[in-house]
Amino acid sequence: MTVLALFHHAGGSAAVFRRLVRLLPDHIRPVPVELPGRGRRWREPAPHTAEEAVRDLADLLTAEVDPDEELSILGHSMGAYLGLGVAAALERRGGPRCQTLFASANLAPQLGSPLFADGTSAVSDEEVLARAAQFDALDERLLGHPHIAARAVALLRSDFDVCDSFVRTMSRTVTESRIVVCRGEQDAFGDEHTDPWQWRSVQPLTTLTFPGGHLYLEEAGAEPLATAIASVMSEPAQSRT
């Protein structure tokens, strides 16, 4: 059995992977992971730094993945950065090791810049929501419910803090995992944004494109993405030098 850990985007939850999970073959065990503050972990305080988030996710996978299972990670948007951090953290710990990191819908981290120069505490809710709208990171139907809207904005603030923390402190992270960049054909990121992911791994880079935009894995891109994941995960692991 092979495990595919799934890390969601900023402001999101594991629900973004529901369609993909249904399409994966039986020999892949999907593990949709949620950061604290949402889903089943809604009572836990949300992290505000990349270090906290990476440590939390690495601890979770260490407990979740059996010694006889192989691990790959699909990280979407913010999750792509956290996937890189977790893959490297697991290598330092000695396992479980990530074979393949599917870095989805984000530019190479060394090209990133902080979303908010002085952190989210210095900006209004409207500015946070405007930034989220640029990345399709929020279901606007939720904004009609004041309590839910307030919680959504709070999660966005914490997730954007995590993203900015990663760019500032972990953008030069390198992993032994193979990196496969996945992106939507209508997303804002082109080759010039994603090719530099090659410098974040000691192995050659692969880039795959799918129909759809930033959330292509909820759109027409879900089925070809599932097929591509199954194909990549069935390939023999490359030796590490």
Could you read off the pLDDT of 8-56 as tens digits, one per residue? 999 889 999 999 999 999 999 999 999 999 888 989 999 999 999 999 9
Which residues does residue 74 pair with via DSSP β-bridges, in sequence order?
6, 102
pLDDT value at 132 more than 90: no
Q: What is the pLDDT of residue 138?
A: 63
pLDDT value at 121 more than 60: yes
Q: How far is CA 98 from CA 22, 49, 148, 150, in A?
A: 22, 22, 35, 36
pLDDT value at 239 more than 60: no
Amino acid present at 65: V
pLDDT band, very low/low/confident/very high, at 1 (cuts 50, 70, 90): confident
**Run of H or E including 228:** helix 222-234
pTM of the entire structure?
Answer: 0.93
pLDDT value at 223 more than 50: yes
Amino acid present at 212: G
Q: What is the pLDDT of residue 241?
A: 45
* Average pLDDT, integer, range 61-86: 96
Q: How far apart are CA 151 and CA 163, in angstroms?
A: 18
pLDDT value at 218 more than 80: yes
Q: What is the CATH number of domain 2-234?
A: 3.40.50.1820
Q: How far apart are CA 12 and CA 30, in angstroms?
A: 17
Q: How far apart are CA 103 and CA 76, in angstroms?
A: 7
Sorted by where each begins, the domain ranges of the chain are 2-234
Q: What is the pLDDT of residue 39?
A: 85
